Amino acid sequence: MKTSNLSKSYGDIFAIRDVSIEINQGEIFGLMGPNGAGKSTLIRILSTLTKSSSGEASIFGYNLRKDQRQVKKLIGIVLHHNLLYDELTAKENLSYYLRLYGFRNKETIEKIIFEKTSQFNIVDRVEDQIGTLSSGQRKRFDIIRATIHNPKLLLLDEPFSGLDRQGIAQLKDFFNSTKKNSTILFSTHNQQIGEEVSDRIATLEKGRIIETKTSGD
Ligand code: ADP
Ligand code: MG
């Protein structure tokens, strides 16, 4: 994943400005910075949900502007608001997404759902309607939803927010097992979590990258 001089302005305000980053395959890359720094804007642009004002970005060689269809197939997205249907059970939601991605075999679908929910220790809640779960449980199912098709690039905006200690530990483990097959870009305003989880970190301030470093340095 690569961006060059990526910018987004809203009137006079630059939400992000001249952001140039390159993320290697299999890397866990943390975006840090205070509220309003531009983290969500950058993630929304890379998710193809917001158009940049100028600059370029490509994901596995596909240009974000020109090759949106290919890009969408390669990414998984977790935003502040989950993309699950409240009236459906967790299992119905996940089955629905698996079908969208072309899975048809009922046993395969059951197996994938079992494996993924085991990682977050929520196998026993799959028959519950999403709307009846706690926000942390919904978050876990939404992260599973985003990774159900094994995306090559996982984009997560503040995924650790709203998780308890156990949820944070599960998500860390999940990142570490997922990075074998995917690249992960996530944002956090929590310095400690950012440093613990990431291989590399970029710090945004007022839309600009002020520092990029290898975690632990
Ligand atoms: P962060 O996620 O780091 O808290 P954001 O990307 O949400 O930061 O916001 C960066 C800046 O862009 C803020 O000043 C915010 O007010 C502005 N901004 C973000 N989205 C919009 C929008 N849709 N319209 C106007 N300004 C926006
Ligand atoms: Mg944000």
CATH value at residue 59: 3.40.50.300
What's the gap in Å between 48 CA and the centre of ligand 2? 16
Is position 179 within any domain? Answer: yes
Q: Would residue 137 count as lying in a domain?
A: no
Relative to beta strand 2-10, strand 13-22 is: antiparallel
Radius of gyration from C-alpha coordinates of the chain: 17
Q: Is the pLDDT of residue 19 over 80?
A: yes
Domain for residue 26, yes or no?
A: yes
Q: What is the pLDDT of residues 49-97, one digit of tens each?
A: 999 999 999 999 999 999 999 999 999 999 999 999 999 999 999 999 9
Would you say residue 99 lies in a domain? no
The answer to the question of residue 141 being in a domain is no
Q: Would the pTM count as exceeding 0.85?
A: yes
- Confidence category of residue 132, pLDDT binned at 50, 70, 90: very high
215 pLDDT band (50/70/90 cuts)? Answer: confident
Q: Quote the crossing angle between the two packed helices 165-178 and 106-119, to the nearest 10°.
A: 120
Is residue 37 assigned to a domain?
Answer: yes
Question: Which residues, including other chains, have CB under 8 Å from residue 199's CB and lie 6 or more apart?
Answer: 27, 28, 29, 214, 215
Q: Give the residue among 47, 50, 79 at the shortest CA–CA distance from 157.
A: 79
Domain assignment of residue 96, yes or no: no
- Contact by Cβ (8 Å): 136, 165: no
Q: Is the dihedral of CA 11, 58, 207, 17 positive or negative?
A: negative
Ligand 1: which of 6, 10, 46, 204 to mutate, judged by most atoms within 8 Å of the beta carbon? 10
Nearest in space to 7 (alpha carbons), one of 46, 49, 39, 42: 42
Ligand 1, atom 25, lies closest to the CA of: 10
pLDDT of 217 higher than 90: no
Residue appearing with tokens 């310095």? 191
Buried residues in 20-58 as b, exposed as e (16+ CB within 10 A) = ebebeeebbbbbbbeeebbbbbbbbbbbbeeebeebebb
Q: CA-CA distance, 41 to 186, in Å (whole number)?
A: 12
Which residue, judged by its Cα, is nearest atom 23 of ligand 1?
10
Range of the domain at 77: 2-88+152-214
Distance 4 CA to ligand 1 centre (A): 20
Q: Residue 41: inside a domain, yes or no?
A: yes
What is the bridge-based pairing of β-strands 75-78 and 153-156? Answer: parallel
Distance 21 CA to ligand 2 centre (A): 18
- Chain-wide mean pLDDT for the chain? 96
How does pLDDT run across 175-185, given as a tens digit for each residue? 999 999 999 99
Task: Output the ligand 1 site: residues, CB below 6 A.
Answer: 10, 13, 15, 33, 35-41
pLDDT of residue 84: 98
Looking at the 3D structure of the chain, how many domains does it have?
1
